[in-house]
Amino acid sequence: MTKNLLQTVVVAFLVSALTLVGYNQLTSNKNENNIRVEHVDSTPAQSVLFSKDEDGEFTPVDFTQTAEKVNDAVVHIKSTQTAIANNQSPYGGRSGQANPFEDDFFRQFFGTPMPQGQGRSRQPEPRVGTGSGVIINADGYIVTNNHVIKDADDIEVTLHDNRNYKATLVGTDPTTDLALLKIEETGLPKVNLSDSDKVRVGEWVLAVGNPFNLNSTVTAGIVSAKGRSINILQEQYAIESFIQTDAAINPGNSGGALVNLNGDLVGINTAIASPTGSYSGYGFAVPSNIVSKVVEDLLKYGITQRGYMGVRIRPVDGALVREKGLSVNQGVYVDEATENGAAINSGIESGDVIVKVDNTVINSNPDLLEAIAQRRPGDAVEVTVNRNGTEKMFSVILNNRDGNTEIVQKELAKALASLGANFETVDKETAKKLDIKGGIKVTDLQSGALTKQTNMQEGFIITKIDGKNVTDVAELEKYLDNKKGGVMLEGVYEEYPGSYYYAFGV
């Protein structure tokens, strides 16, 4: 009985196996490229991802709460500028000849008509730009980019709930492309500033702003790099040490927030790297530590206080290591420690490689610029250098741009302030290079007589006013204090040959 049952089972198994083999053979011959697709009733989904925080604890990766927290504190900014249409070169020359004296001065004050055929119209026409801003204080203080509000005659801020305000400009810092605005309101939602030094590559971040006038847009990405310099700021003492992110940033995001998952500000979105002008994968933000320092300076002093070491530097790379026989592969090489500068006075020499400032490791030029940009004249920093394979530490007392440790005060006469510009006395080295006795450099142009009545550009160095030599800002201030009527400025540009003339009325 048992034996017969066993035989029956074996026979049944063999029959089934042969049937399956035959079926597979038939279907294989029928269609050799047959692909089996399986469908299920529902797709398994994970409702939330987790990541570890600094303490090693698992925290949920959830963008919704962060977006809700930050959206209300990011504003839309509209800046309006009354521009002067100009088909000439940006520096006022005609066919290579710089003669805006005839145009600006005689037409303005003596009614001389514009020569025919010059193709120029001076009819005011409004230019409207848009961007974003971040409320950092409940009493209406807003951070944005300088390029968002540059030369604006009118600045309008719209909140997330559509309330609208006129904004006043507290101050700007073109070297970091930051500006501080103020609206008359209290109890506003705000974003807290975090320590950007603690931001790590690979960390989740959100970009919040108003790209293409699409209000309150949130995109997500990671920090893809730190300490980036893309040479977008054309200021002489520009500070570029951007946080790079792959969160989508487009025109209109400028001045908006880059925040961590806690909703704290890690940077102000400033630029994109793109061949088309739209997002192509990389965005750049000014680190929040620099933002914090600039805001404090503008509120307290009205002008940014910048510490200087007095060194000419270049990054350490493989070619430099071979050329100089260096003992380190990373850091910042001191090409020259300038005479009477803070660095040389502390003992730092040409040929040293700066590897650390206080507790911050220095691997590149942006690392050093960012570390020093967070300090003021008179601050002491511990600078570690590698000299011939040996590390040495020096205490450096930072100077201001004039070579001393004093805080720079922003004190402009009313007449000087009406020009809508910031000025600085030209240093001896620049004066010698340009073969001038001295002069006053226009470092920043905003809304004022110079932008409304002339086509002057930033970087212009004033050497004469109404034919009289001027060599420092105090002389210009004194001359304009009681001046009425027409004023003619004569000067030069570092990048362009010849003399240039600009005339305006006060």
Structure confidence by residue, pLDDT tens digits, 17-37: 555 545 455 444 544 444 444
For the cut 50, the answer to whether the pLDDT of residue 118 exceeds it is no
Burial 112-131 (b: 16+ CB within 10 A, else e): eeeeeeeeeeeeeeeeebbb
If pLDDT is split at 50, 70 and 90, which confidence band does 111 have?
A: very low
If pLDDT is split at 50, 70 and 90, which confidence band does 97 have?
A: very low
**Which one of 77-91, 170-184, 225-239, 269-283 scores highest in mean pLDDT?**
170-184
Catalytic member of 194, 241, 254, 346? 254
Question: What's the pLDDT tens digit per position in 405-446?
Answer: 988 776 555 667 778 888 888 988 889 999 999 999 998 887
Q: What is residue 17's predicted lDDT score, i.e. its pLDDT? A: 52
Q: What is residue 414's predicted lDDT score, i.e. its pLDDT? A: 61
Comparing 77-86, 123-132, 156-165, 346-355, the range with the smallest average pLDDT is 77-86
If pLDDT is split at 50, 70 and 90, which confidence band does 66 have?
A: very high
For the cut 70, the answer to whether the pLDDT of residue 181 exceeds it is yes
Q: What is residue 13's predicted lDDT score, i.e. its pLDDT? A: 55
- DSSP structure string for 313-355: EEE--HHHHHHHT-S-SSSEEEEEE-TT-HHHHHT--TT-EEE
Question: What's the pLDDT tens digit per position in 435-483?
Answer: 999 999 998 887 788 988 899 998 999 999 999 999 888 788 888 877 8
3-state secondary structure of 357: strand
CATH assignment, 414-505: 2.30.42.10
Q: What is residue 283's predicted lDDT score, i.e. its pLDDT? A: 95
Q: Which residue has the tokens 């037409």?
A: 107
For domain 311-397, the question of CATH label 3.30.70.100 is answered with no
User: Of 339, 348, 360, nearest to 394 (Cα)?
Assistant: 348
Question: Contact at 8 Å (CB) between 142 and 177?
Answer: no
Is 147 a known active-site residue? yes
Task: Sort strands 204-209 and 217-228 into parallel, antiparallel or unpaired.
Answer: antiparallel
Q: Can you point out the beta strands (E) in 121-216?
A: 124-137, 141-145, 154-158, 164-166, 168-173, 178-182, 204-209
For the cut 70, the answer to whether the pLDDT of residue 200 exceeds it is yes
If pLDDT is split at 50, 70 and 90, which confidence band does 249 have?
A: very high
If pLDDT is split at 50, 70 and 90, which confidence band does 95 have?
A: very low
Question: Contact at 8 Å (CB) between 227 and 239?
Answer: no
Single-letter residue type at 18: L
Q: Which residues contact 181 (CB under 8 A, 6 or more apart)?
A: 77, 133, 141, 142, 143, 144, 149, 155, 157, 167, 168, 169, 170
**CA 492 – CA 475 distance, rounded (Å):** 18
Catalytic member of 103, 104, 153, 177? 177
Catalytic member of 79, 132, 147, 153? 147
Q: Where along the chain do its domains lie? A: 56-86+115-301, 311-397, 414-505
Q: If residue 227 lies in a helix (H) or strand (E), which one and from where to where?
A: strand 217-228
Question: What's the pLDDT tens digit per position in 309-338?
Answer: 999 999 999 999 999 999 999 999 999 999
Handedness of CA 298, 300, 304, 307 (dihedral sign): negative
Q: Which residue has the tokens 């090409």?
A: 335
User: Of 488, 501, 499, nearest to 109 (Cα)?
Assistant: 488
Contacts 24+ apart (CB under 8 A), 476-479: 476/416, 476/423, 476/440, 477/412, 477/413, 477/415, 477/416
**CA 173 – CA 335 distance, rounded (Å):** 27
Task: Sort strands 380-387 and 353-357 into parallel, antiparallel or unpaired.
Answer: antiparallel
Over residues 122-140, the mean pLDDT reads: 86
Over residues 216-233, the mean pLDDT reads: 94
Phi and psi, residue 263, nearest 5°: 85, 15
pTM for this entry = 0.72
Token reading at 312: 């000419």
Q: What is residue 83's predicted lDDT score, i.e. its pLDDT? A: 56
Q: What is residue 447's predicted lDDT score, i.e. its pLDDT? A: 74
User: Of 160, 132, 137, nearest to 71 (Cα)?
Assistant: 160
Q: What is residue 85's predicted lDDT score, i.e. its pLDDT? A: 42
In degrees to the nearest 10, what's the CA dihedral of 31, 35, 38, 39?
-90
Three-state SS across 271-300?
A: EEECCCCCCCCEEEEEEHHHHHHHHHHHHH
Partner residues linked to 204 by β-bridges? 222
Rounded to whole angstroms, the maximal C-alpha distance in the chain is: 130
For domain 56-86+115-301, the question of CATH label 3.40.50.10490 is answered with no
**CA 313 – CA 351 distance, rounded (Å):** 10
Over residues 219-234, the mean pLDDT reads: 93
If pLDDT is split at 50, 70 and 90, which confidence band does 252 have?
A: very high
Over residues 121-132, the mean pLDDT reads: 76
| Other beta carbons within 10 Å of 322 | 9
User: Of 32, 10, 38, 11, nearest to 24 (Cα)?
Assistant: 32
Q: What is residue 317's predicted lDDT score, i.e. its pLDDT? A: 95
Over residues 77-93, the mean pLDDT reads: 59
Query: Does 449 or 72 have the greater pLDDT score?
Result: 72
For the cut 50, the answer to whether the pLDDT of residue 38 exceeds it is no
Q: Is 414-505 in the same CATH topology as 311-397?
A: yes
The mean pLDDT value of the chain amounts to: 83
**CA 118 – CA 319 distance, rounded (Å):** 51
Single-letter residue type at 95: S
The number of angstroms, rounded, from the C-alpha of 150 to the middle of its chain's C-alpha atoms is 14
